[in-house]
Amino acid sequence: MIIAIDGPAGAGKSTVARGLAKALGLDLLDTGAMYRAFALAAFRKGSDFNVFELIDQVQIDFGPSPERKIRLDGVDVSDEIRSLEISQMASQLSTVSEVRRAMVATQQSIISLGNWVLEGRDVTTVVAPKADLKIFLTASIEERARRRWVEMVAKGDTVSLPAVVKEVVERDHRDYTRDDSPLMLAEDAIIVESFGLSPDEIIERIVAMTQ
């Protein structure tokens, strides 16, 4: 079984996908984490890096079940990739066609075997267009920014809510307008509005769709 969860930044895809994978006993593939890991590799290089060379230099994969932690060159970087700076850099690098193609090829290779819940902003249209179930999870810009801000403050980041709103708006624009694999609503995707629902309630609804 392949379940693909798509939608804009901050809609709750990661939390829902993680809970859904646990509820159904499936492996989890966080495609966004792969772009963040690549951005982290670029960030560590500073201004002295060639994005096309970096594609061939880094190794990005996931650790063993059930955690499936994102790894960069064999090292768990799941905490490092969640900063605002890395998020913005990942969004920018994801517009580079060569980066997207390399990531999509890796993702499709990973899900070719086994049962997966995958989440990201092109999984229902590009990575897994033949998924058994496609979910488009969404919420307003304001709600998505608020959730992201609360999450970041809880981790100790000193960032203002207006700054996070600006980031979400910018990421939405890049995601919807990029030339390669723009964020789109698949014709056969089921839209789930997450506002006013807890992650557990959303997960329960999606689990019911698999029955």
Pairing of strands 133-138, 2-6: parallel
Q: Quick one: pLDDT at residue 145?
A: 93
Can you tell me the mean pLDDT for 149-155?
Answer: 89
Q: Quick one: pLDDT at residue 42?
A: 95
CB contact at 8 A, 44 and 172 = no
What is the spatial order of strands in the sheet that 70-72 belongs to? 60-62, 70-72, 75-76
What does the CA dihedral 181, 185, 190, 192 come to, rounded to 10 degrees?
100
CB contact at 8 A, 22 and 155 = no
Q: Quick one: pLDDT at residue 100?
A: 92
Question: Which whole-number Å values give the CA distances from 133 to 7, 46, 125, in the listed order?
Answer: 14, 40, 12
Can you tell me the mean pLDDT for 123-149?
Answer: 94
Nearest Cα to Cα of residue 192 among 87, 104, 119: 119
**Residue bearing the bigger pLDDT, 41 or 68:** 41
Which residues are CB-contacts of 78 (< 8 A; sequence separation ≥ 6)? 33, 69, 70
Tokens standing for residue 29: 């593939």
CATH topology of domain 2-206: Rossmann fold (3.40.50)
**Residue bearing the bigger pLDDT, 134 or 114:** 134
Tokens standing for residue 33: 């984490």
**Where are the chain's structural domains?**
2-206
pLDDT at 65 over 80: no
pLDDT at 181 over 90: no
Q: Quick one: pLDDT at residue 211?
A: 87
Name the pLDDT band for 57 (thresholds 50, 70, 90): very high
What's this model's pTM, rounded to 2 decimal places? 0.82
Q: Quick one: pLDDT at residue 114?
A: 85
pLDDT at 151 over 80: yes
Can you tell me the mean pLDDT for 60-81?
Answer: 90
Can you tell me the mean pLDDT for 13-37?
Answer: 93
pLDDT at 157 over 90: no
